[in-house]
Amino acid sequence: MTRVPVIFSEQSQRTSDSPINFFIQQAVENPNSISLAAGLVDYASLPSDEVAEAVASVLSRRQAAQQALQYGVPQGHPPLREKLLGRALALDGVTARDVSLSVEDVVVTTGSQQLLYLLCELLVNPGDLVITEAPSYFVMQQTLESAGARSLSVPIDEQGMNPDALEEVLLGLERSGELSRLRFIYVVDYFQNPTGLSLSLPRRKRILELAQRFSRQHRILILEDAAYRELRYDGPDLPSIKSFDRDNAHVMLAYTFSKPLAPGLKTGFGLMPAELVAPLLHIKGNHDFGSNNLTQHLIERLLDNGSYDRHVARLCEVYRQKRDVLLKALADAFPPALGVRWTHPEGGLYVWMTFPEDVDTGTSSELMKAATREGVLYVPGQFCYLTGENCPSPSNEARLSFGVASPDQLKEAARRLGRAYRSTITQQRALAVS
C-alpha cells in the first residue's frame, strides 16, 4: 500500500535538526577523539553521594515521600520557590521589596531551556522581532527559529553586548516603524555560551535603560539568561540586570541547576515580571502541568543541608584548574606568530577561539577534517550566529568547552588542535602558491 504523506505543522517545518545531533554523531564516529565540543559537565565531580543522601532522606519519611511522589503545582514546590527567591536576592544583595519581587514571581521549570522555549511561545508570533547577542547560545537560536521570530543581532566584545550598537538597532526599528514588533532582548550575561565573556556592570545598566526608554507603546522585555552565574573562578560577582529592574517590569531572569549542580536533575527557574506569570503557567500547563516534583524536593534538601553550596565551591575549584590547564595548553600550542586569539573567561565552561580570517572552521572545512583526523572535536563558530536580518556569520571561530575533558585530555586536545591548525595553514599556503 502506498503511504500518503503526513502533513506537518508550520512550526514543525520551521524547526530544524539541532546542531547537537551533529556533535553526537561526530563523537560516535570518532570514539578516540577528545571532545571540546560537548556541552557536558565534569563527570567526576557530579554530586552522586549528595543526591543519594537527598533521595534517602526524602523517601525515608513517609509523608515527605508521598508529597514528593504526588503531582506538584505547575508553578513549582512552594517551599523551594521561597528558597530560590531568597538565594537569588542574596546573590544580588537586595531585598524582595527593593526589586518588587515575591515568591509568586518565581516559576520552576524543566531546565532553563524549558523557560526559554515557553517564553518564546508566550511572547512571539511569527514575524515578531527578538534581539540577541552575536554570537549567542545556539539552542536558543533554534528555539527562536521554531517560534518564527525574526532575529536581529548586536555584536559583543570583551564587555559583552555593545549598548551603542543596541541603541542603533532600536533607533533603526523606530525609524522603520517596526519597534512595535520587538518582543525582547536576549542576553547570556555571565560567562556567555559560547564566548565565556560577561556583560560589564555599566552595560547592564545601560541595556536596561535602553529597554525602558524604547518601551514607548509596549514593553520591551529583557531575557537575562544567567545559566553560568555561580561558576565564577576569578573576580567579584556582578549584579544581575534584574537587580536594577526595581519595579519588576522588564527583566525575565533565567537560572538553572544544570551547570552548578547536575544537568540530569534538569531543573531551572525564572524570576518573572508579575503579569507574565499566569499566562506563562497556562502554557506550561499544556506542556506538563508542573516540572518533576521529586527532583524539586531533592533540590530543596540539597539547598537546606548545605550540599549545594559546598558543591558549587568544589566545582569552581575543579573548573578553575581545567580552565587554567586549557589556557596554558593553548598558549603552548598556538604561539603568537600563528595569529590565533582566544578568550580568557573568568568562569563558565567555554573558550572562544578566533583564527585568521582566511581559516574556515565549518563542518566541511579543512581545519575540521584535520582536527577530526587528529582526534579533537570543537564547535564551529558559525553555529552560534543567528540567521537573521542583520546577523553576521564569521566562519573563522570555534567554541571550546573545558567541561567534560580531564586536565590531561585538555592538554592533549590543545596539542592536537595546534597540529591540525598548522597542517591546515601549511596546505592552504601551498595551494595559494601553486
Ligand X SMILES: Cc1ncc(COP(=O)(O)O)c(C=O)c1O
Interaction site with ligand X (CB under 6 A): 39, 111-113, 137, 188, 193, 225, 227, 256, 258, 263, 266, 268
Which distant-in-sequence residues (6+ apart) come within 8 Å of 167 by Cβ? 210
State in angstroms the smallest separation of the CB of 195 from ligand X. 11
SS3 call for 270: strand
**Nearer Cβ to ligand X, position 39 or 163?**
39
Q: Which residues of 418-433 are buried (b: 16+ CB within 10 A; e: fewer)?
A: bbbbebbbeebeeeee
Q: What is the DSSP string of 360-391?
A: --STTSHHHHHHHHHTEE-EEGGGGS--STT-
**Nearer Cβ to ligand X, position 260 or 273?**
260
**Nearer Cβ to ligand X, position 319 or 334?**
319
Which distant-in-sequence residues (6+ apart) come within 8 Å of 30 by Cβ? 372, 375, 377
**Nearer Cβ to ligand X, position 111 or 380?**
111
State in angstroms the smallest separation of the CB of 81 from ligand X. 17
| Of 255, 218, 258, residue with least CA distance to 106 | 255
**Nearer Cβ to ligand X, position 84 or 425?**
84
| Of 360, 434, 424, 391, residue with least CA distance to 141 | 391
CA distances from 217 to 52, 150, 182, 213, 248 (A): 52, 20, 11, 11, 18
**Nearer Cβ to ligand X, position 192 or 354?**
192
State in angstroms the smallest separation of the CB of 116 from ligand X. 6
**Nearer Cβ to ligand X, position 250 or 259?**
259
State in angstroms the smallest separation of the CB of 188 from ligand X. 4
Packing angle, helices 62-69 and 293-304, rounded to 10: 130
Q: Which stretches of 41-193 are DSSP H helices?
A: 48-60, 62-69, 78-92, 111-123, 138-147, 163-175
Residue 162 C-alpha cell reads as: 555593545
State in angstroms the smallest separation of the CB of 111 from ligand X. 2
Identify whether the C-beta of residue 116 lies closer than 8 Å to the C-beta of residue 225. Answer: yes
| Of 156, 291, 310, 140, residue with least CA distance to 230 | 310
State in angstroms the smallest separation of the CB of 19 from ligand X. 12
CB closest to ligand X, residue no = 111
| CA atoms lying within 13 Å on the CB side of residue 370 | 20
**Nearer Cβ to ligand X, position 35 or 258?**
258
**Nearer Cβ to ligand X, position 195 or 256?**
256
308: phi then psi, degrees, rounded to nearest 5: -60, -50
State in angstroms the smallest separation of the CB of 293 from ligand X. 17
State in angstroms the smallest separation of the CB of 97 from ligand X. 29
State in angstroms the smallest separation of the CB of 113 from ligand X. 3
Spatial separation of the C-alpha atoms in residues 115 and 284, rounded to whole Å: 9
**Nearer Cβ to ligand X, position 343 or 424?**
343
Identify whether the C-beta of residue 103 lies closer than 8 Å to the C-beta of residue 275. Answer: no
State in angstroms the smallest separation of the CB of 302 from ligand X. 16
